[in-house]
Amino acid sequence: MRLTRNILAFLLAAVLILLMFLPVALVSGVGRRRDFIFSCGRLVVGTALGVLGVRIVLRGMDAVDWSRPPVIVSNHLSNLDGPLLVHSLPVNPRVLIKAEARRIPLVGWMLKLAGFVFVDRSSAARRQLALEEAVERITRNRSPFVVFPEGTRRRGGVPGEFKKGSFVIARRAGAPVLPVRIRGSERLLPPGRRTCAAGTVEIDFFPLRDPSDVGESELALFARDVQRIIEEGGAA
Domain of 69, CATH number, reads 3.40.1130.10
* Other C-beta atoms lying within 10 Å of the C-beta of residue 212: 9
In-domain check, residue 104: yes
Q: How far apart are CA 230 and CA 180, in angstroms?
A: 6
Mean pLDDT of 170-188: 95
Q: Look at the chain and report how many structural domains it folds into.
A: 1
Amino acid 114 reads: A
User: pLDDT: is 8 or 157 the higher one?
Assistant: 8
DSSP state of 209: B
Domain assignment present for 95:
yes
Confidence band, pLDDT 50/70/90 cuts, at residue 141: confident
Q: Residue 213's pLDDT band (boundaries 50, 70, 90)?
A: confident
- Is residue 31, in this structure, part of any structural domain at all? no
Would you place residue 225 in the very low, low, confident or very high pLDDT band (cuts 50, 70, 90)?
very high
Distance, C-alpha 67 to centroid of its chain: 19
Between CA 109 and CA 160 the distance in angstroms is 30
- Structural domain boundaries, residue 131: 56-231
Strands (E), the chain: 54-59, 71-74, 94-98, 117-119, 145-147, 177-183, 199-205
- Residue 202 has what DSSP assignment? E
122, 146 contact by CB (below 8 A) = no
Q: What is the mean pLDDT of residues 123-130?
A: 84
DSSP-assigned states of every residue in 137-183: HHHHH---EEE-TTSS--BTTBPPPPPSHHHHHHHHHT--EEEEEEE
pLDDT at 159 over 80: no
In a domain, 30, yes or no: no
